[in-house]
């Protein structure tokens, strides 16, 4: 496909009237063609107005048409073939295998949401039938369902050019909820976004949907991003990125005449707690644990929101052996190309600040990569007393860096947990002998994280029904939600009750005949669609 460098607004290619921008190959800092024209705020309103026009028809689609649309997006992305992987690699420096896996995750979650739409429980149908004979007062017929919020603004993430980008988790869950999407492309991978944008536009067209169901826009992040969130047609925001940018969007959304929710996934240190039992056994066991840790820190050049930025290890001989094994493992690592020159620069500044902090030393350091923007992975070390007293040691470094913290008692760990900000994950490395020691940490961690892991590492987020990829602020802006898994659809829905509404006026999911064959909660009891239909036949 020939890349045109234009926004895709309601199915049309629109040349921006503002400045132009280019993608860059971070391995060489080479400028990539074509130039991308950036839209102005006046042009932005065409996308948001089209999304508002699309909402009435898109939000009421029947389940099969709706699910088929999501499946078609997945099919179209796969049909792009290797062109997508090549362009994404050029724009991000990420290796082919990583990008192939990310493409599979992107199409997989679209198909997962298609199954959610077909199954229909997300509609949350509840029916309390009328009780006219109830005393002392009769009960009205009251029915409830979840409806889509309206058009959603989604921002592409720098570190996932596919799975958290144009057709990524936020877009997939918003579309599955029945919300049109206006997608703000990340300027670091514009070509990748355009390729996927065309795949979505084709699915919209082939399904006969209103073209405003999806628009892809390019623009200056600070101005167009803020204008998008402030636009009255937008009813919710999905964002993955830095804490500063996420908070700026939250403030804009809160200051609107009609405030709207911002579901922002921002920063996280993902602490790992190693207990003494995990360090028993042969030296090979400690070496393996150290290698797993370093692999989690350095994978994708550490540019994962679940990269473990902290590791708490016990003092004493076993902890010393672990630190030595970590030093050996990281010294064998070579820096990988980071996503952009700016991100690499921020990593260097953060690593320098951490290395210069009081009480911090270098446990081990790898070597710089052969490409540009590929700094040497580094593991730092400190004592837990210094960690709890110095907030600089709590700052996230986005990239291949982490801090090993030596502790002595469970009370010290509890104190450190209480001082942590909200996190996406916490991991416990332990054996059965550590259960009594670890038990007090669980309720403390529940107040700080969205996912607790035992004998695993936080990288690698399964996309399923039970996953939570969220956590207390500042890991996310709304601690009650997840941006990964089927529960993510709930972010873009709200309940509406219908009291004494005639059958002829009721929305389809609430009608007595149950045309969409939904499972429903009737008078407090969950009734399967099949059982309800069988009961009606027998009656």
How far apart (Å, rounded) are the C-alpha atoms in residues 122 and 493?
Answer: 9
Query: What is the average pLDDT across 162-176?
Result: 97
Could you say which DSSP state residue 211 is in?
Answer: G
Q: What values do phi and psi take at 40, rounded to 5?
A: -95, 170
Active-site residue, selected from the candidate residues 91, 194, 265, 532:
265
Residue 1 pLDDT > 70: yes
pLDDT confidence of 532, banded at 50, 70, 90? low
Count the residues in the chain.
539
pLDDT digits (tens, 9 = 90+) for 454-465: 999 999 899 999
Cβ atoms 322, 289 nearer than 8 A? yes
Centre a 10 Å sphere on the Cβ of residue 8 and count the other Cβ atoms it contains.
25
pLDDT confidence of 282, banded at 50, 70, 90? confident
pLDDT confidence of 141, banded at 50, 70, 90? very high
pLDDT confidence of 533, banded at 50, 70, 90? low
Contacts 24+ apart (CB under 8 A), 31-36: 32/90, 32/91, 32/191, 33/3, 34/3, 34/4, 34/5, 34/191, 35/5, 36/5, 36/6, 36/187, 36/190, 36/218
179 catalytic residue (yes or no): no
pLDDT digits (tens, 9 = 90+) for 472-518: 999 999 999 999 999 999 999 999 999 999 999 999 999 999 999 99
At 415 the pLDDT is 97
Comparing CA positions, the residue from 390, 330, 328, 321 lying closest to residue 359 is 390
pLDDT digits (tens, 9 = 90+) for 171-193: 999 999 999 999 999 999 999 99
Residue 537 pLDDT > 60: no
At 403 the pLDDT is 98
Mean pLDDT (the chain) is 96
Query: What is the average pLDDT across 341-347?
Result: 97
In whole angstroms, what separates CA 101 from the centre of its chain?
16
Ordered by where they begin, the domains of the chain are: 7-12+37-132+141-266+484-490 (3.40.605.10), 272-454 (3.40.309.10)
At 449 the pLDDT is 98
Comparing CA positions, the residue from 333, 326, 331, 324 lying closest to residue 310 is 326
265 catalytic residue (yes or no): yes
pLDDT digits (tens, 9 = 90+) for 93-115: 999 999 999 999 999 999 999 99
pLDDT digits (tens, 9 = 90+) for 33-44: 999 999 999 999
Cβ atoms 179, 492 nearer than 8 A? yes
Kindly state the percentage of the chain with pLDDT values over 90: 96
Comparing CA positions, the residue from 215, 209, 261, 237 lying closest to residue 60 is 209
pLDDT digits (tens, 9 = 90+) for 418-446: 999 999 999 999 999 999 999 999 999 99
Q: Against a cut of 0.85, is the pTM above it? A: yes
pLDDT confidence of 530, banded at 50, 70, 90? confident
Active-site residue, selected from the candidate residues 305, 333, 396, 412:
305
DSSP of 61-126: --HHHHHHHHHHHHHHHHHHTHHHHHHHHHHH---HHHHHHHHHHHHHHHHHHHHHHHH-GGG--E
């Amino acid at each position: 496909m020939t890349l045109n460098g234009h926004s895709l607004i309601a199915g049309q290619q629109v040349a921006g009237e503002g400045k132009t921008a280019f993608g860059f190959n971070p391995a060489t800092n080479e400028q990539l063609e074509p130039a991308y024209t950036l839209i102005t705020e006046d042009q932005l309103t065409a996308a948001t107005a089209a999304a508002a026009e699309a909402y009435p028809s898109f939000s009421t689609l029947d389940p099969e048409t709706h699910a088929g649309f999501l499946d078609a997006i997945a099919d179209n992305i796969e049909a792009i073939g290797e062109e997508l992987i090549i362009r994404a690699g050029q724009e991000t420096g990420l290796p082919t295998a990583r990008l192939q896996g990310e493409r599979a995750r992107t199409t997989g979650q679209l198909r997962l949401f298609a199954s959610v739409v077909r199954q229909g429980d997300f509609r949350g149908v509840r029916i309390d039938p009328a009780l006219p004979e109830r005393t002392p007062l009769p009960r009205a017929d009251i029915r409830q369902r979840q409806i889509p919020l309206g058009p959603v603004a989604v921002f592409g993430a720098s570190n996932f050019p596919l799975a958290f980008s144009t057709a990524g988790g936020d877009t997939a869950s918003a579309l599955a909820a029945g919300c049109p999407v206006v997608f703000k492309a990340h300027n670091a991978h514009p070509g990748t976004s355009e390729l996927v944008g065309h795949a979505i536009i084709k699915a919209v067209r082939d399904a006969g949907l209103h073209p405003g169901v999806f628009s892809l826009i390019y623009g200056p992040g600070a101005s167009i991003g803020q204008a998008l969130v402030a636009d009255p047609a937008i009813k919710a925001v999905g964002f993955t990125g830095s804490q500063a940018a996420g908070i700026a969007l939250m403030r804009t959304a809160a200051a609107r005449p009609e405030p709207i929710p911002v579901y922002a996934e921002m920063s996280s240190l993902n602490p790992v707690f190693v207990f003494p039992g995990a360090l028993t056994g042969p030296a090979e066991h400690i070496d393996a644990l150290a290698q797993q840790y370093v692999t989690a820190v350095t994978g994708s050049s550490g540019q994962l929101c679940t990269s473990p930025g902290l590791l708490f290890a016990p003092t004493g001989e076993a902890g010393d052996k672990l630190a030595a094994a970590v030093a050996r493992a990281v010294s064998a690592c070579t820096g990988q190309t980071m996503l952009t020159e700016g991100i690499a620069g921020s990593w260097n500044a953060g690593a320098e600040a951490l290395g210069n902090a009081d009480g911090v030393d270098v446990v081990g350091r790898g070597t710089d990569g052969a490409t540009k923007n590929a700094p040497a992975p580094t593991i730092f070390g400190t004592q837990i007393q210094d960690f709890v007293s110095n907030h600089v040691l709590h700052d996230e470094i986005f990239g291949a860096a982490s801090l090993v913290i030596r502790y002595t008692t469970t009370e010290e760990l509890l104190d450190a947990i209480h001082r942590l900000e909200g996190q996406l994950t916490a991991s416990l490395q332990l054996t059965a002998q550590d259960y009594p020691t670890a038990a007090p940490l669980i309720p403390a961690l529940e107040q700080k994280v969205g996912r607790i892991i035992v004998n695993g590492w936080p990288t690698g987020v399964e996309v399923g029904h039970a996953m939570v990829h969220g956590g207390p602020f500042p890991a996310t802006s709304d601690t009650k939600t997840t941006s990964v898994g089927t529960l993510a659809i709930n972010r873009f829905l709200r309940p509406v009750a219908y009291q004494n509404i005639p059958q002829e006026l009721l929305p389809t999911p609430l009608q007595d005949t149950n045309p969409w064959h939904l499972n429903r909660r009737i008078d407090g009891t969950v009734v399967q669609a099949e059982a309800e239909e069988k009961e009606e036949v027998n009656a």
